[in-house]
Amino acid sequence: MEQLIISPANLKQQALKIWKRGDFHRSYLQNINYFPLQIPIKNISAKNLLANFGELQEAIYMLRQDSNKHGYAIVDKVITHRQLGEQTIPATIVFNTEAIFLSYLAKTTEFSQFKSLAQQTIQQHKLLKDWIIRYPFKIMKYVDVWLKLLKVCLYFNNNPQPNCYIRQLDIKGVDSKFIEQHKGILNELLPLILTEQDYHQDITGLNNHGFERRYGLLYDQPLIRLRILDSELAIQGLTDLTLTVDEFKLLNIDTKTVFIAENKVNGLAFPNYPKAIVIFGLGYSVNLLANAKCLHNNDLYYWGDIDTHGFAILSRLRQYYPQVQSLLMDQQTLEKFSELAVYESLGKSEQKAVSHLTDKENTLYQQLQKSLLRLEQERISFLYLQEHLNWLK
């Protein structure tokens, strides 16, 4: 049967929906009087009034009992029914005060916490007021740690781009693990209080140490491994080097040629070559090579597997260095060593279109997407590599 009048349970649901919209919280922050809060009750048709008069009286009685219990008011209206005469029917539920509304929802303590935290936040960081108005419930999501979050914000406001590890930040009552665990919310708050000069706006995500890079912190950088292929270029006798990304980008070495090999063992076994180095073992992380001094004004060669991923990595590298040429990643090499080729599963293959391949490379890439063949670079004979390198010289 259709509900004749709002039940106490349904009223509670409607009141909770109003609470969850956050308008009540916003009115507090904006000094807008939210009360009296009215919830209208839908009209009852004359037909339903007559057909279900007994049930209606019972429902009205239950609603009035709930009203007496919780303190909200019921505004009635008088309707005249042709057969039943004048009837007094509830028309509107009214919460006259904040206290009644909060008590009804059992939110008195929660809202008191919200007001206290919001006041402290705005007192310390006025620029966060608009954010709180927009996302009032985020404070309560982090209610147990909110004051610590404010301490971290205050620290960065006073010490922008500290150029140290998170472990070294000296914030009273806040340890480094706390910051590590709350990078997401901090990344929402910090841009609102810092000036444009105090953080890197172009870095947005948290992947690859995005938080540290954005706010000027040190971090455990990825490592670049390389071999110097010409003994005359050795650095104090060293030819096998592992450098942090920043160190690598500053490396100034008198090379004319740079090879980039996907496979680690192939990098270790790469033949000597005049005025050259080989970088190896990065896979899809070739983006780490962007803006490196030793890669500019050099002949660049990328040697990857002849499979969908090898060409996808080549395409990624060319975003940073369009002059990169592929090495032993052609139809001729695939055919010469075809008996050593294997198949990769469709689910593990790269099926997206890429944008930085030559016509011949793209043709082979599309062919591999269909055939799912893959020829790993370590299956190509060392002699064949040597012959090709001699031809390059």
The confidence score (pLDDT) of residue 1 equals 40
Burial 59-82 (b: 16+ CB within 10 A, else e): bbeebeebbeebebebeeeebeee
Least confident of 92-101, 202-211, 232-241, 286-295: 202-211
Report the alpha-carbon distance of residue 64 to residue 8 in Å, rounded.
9
Report the alpha-carbon distance of residue 387 to residue 271 in Å, rounded.
11
Do 320 and 287 meet the contact criterion of CB atoms below 8 Å apart?
yes
Q: Does 184 score more than 60 pLDDT?
A: yes
Q: Does 343 score more than 90 pLDDT?
A: yes
Structure tokens at 110: 């929660």
Strand pairing of 85-95 and 37-40? antiparallel
The confidence score (pLDDT) of residue 81 equals 55
Residue 279 has φ and ψ, to the nearest 5°, of: -105, 140
Q: Does 55 score more than 80 pLDDT?
A: no
Structure tokens at 335: 């055919």
Report the alpha-carbon distance of residue 207 to residue 346 in Å, rounded.
27
Report the alpha-carbon distance of residue 93 to residue 90 in Å, rounded.
8
pLDDT band for position 50 (50/70/90)? low
Sign of torsion, CA 80 82 87 91? negative
Q: Under CATH, which number does the domain 223-392 receive?
A: 3.40.1360.10
Domain range annotation of the chain: 8-106, 109-214, 223-392
Q: Does 336 score more than 70 pLDDT?
A: yes
Report the alpha-carbon distance of residue 393 to residue 389 in Å, rounded.
6
Report the alpha-carbon distance of residue 199 to residue 201 in Å, rounded.
6
The confidence score (pLDDT) of residue 46 equals 57
Order the strands of the 37-40 sheet from edge to edge: 37-40, 85-95, 73-81
Least confident of 59-73, 85-99, 336-350: 85-99
Structure tokens at 14: 């409607």
Instruction: Return the half-sphere exposure (C-beta side, CA atoms, 13 A cut-off) of residue 80.
Output: 1
Tally of CB atoms within 10 A around 370? 9
Helix (H) or strand (E) holding 24: helix 23-29
Structure tokens at 353: 């279109």
Do 284 and 313 meet the contact criterion of CB atoms below 8 Å apart?
yes
The confidence score (pLDDT) of residue 51 equals 56
Report the alpha-carbon distance of residue 115 to residue 112 in Å, rounded.
5
Strand pairing of 240-244 and 85-95? unpaired
Q: Which residues pair with 75 in a beta bridge?
A: 92
Burial 280-309 (b: 16+ CB within 10 A, else e): bbbeeebebbeebebbeebebbbbbbbbbb
Q: Does 388 score more than 70 pLDDT?
A: yes
Q: Does 125 score more than 50 pLDDT?
A: yes
Structure tokens at 379: 């299956």
Residue range 304-322: mean pLDDT, rounded: 96
Structure tokens at 178: 């706390």
Please spell the DSSP secondary structure of 258-306, one letter per residue. EEEESSHHHHHHPPP-TTEEEEE--GGGGGGGTT-GGGTTSEEEEE--B
Q: Does 53 score more than 70 pLDDT?
A: no
Average pLDDT, the chain: 91
Helix (H) or strand (E) holding 251: none
Report the alpha-carbon distance of residue 118 to residue 34 in Å, rounded.
18
The confidence score (pLDDT) of residue 348 equals 92
Q: Cα Rg for the chain, rounded, in angstroms?
A: 35
Least confident of 56-60, 149-153, 170-174, 355-359: 56-60
Tally of CB atoms within 10 A around 37? 19
| Residue length of the chain | 393
The confidence score (pLDDT) of residue 275 equals 97
Q: Does 373 score more than 90 pLDDT?
A: yes
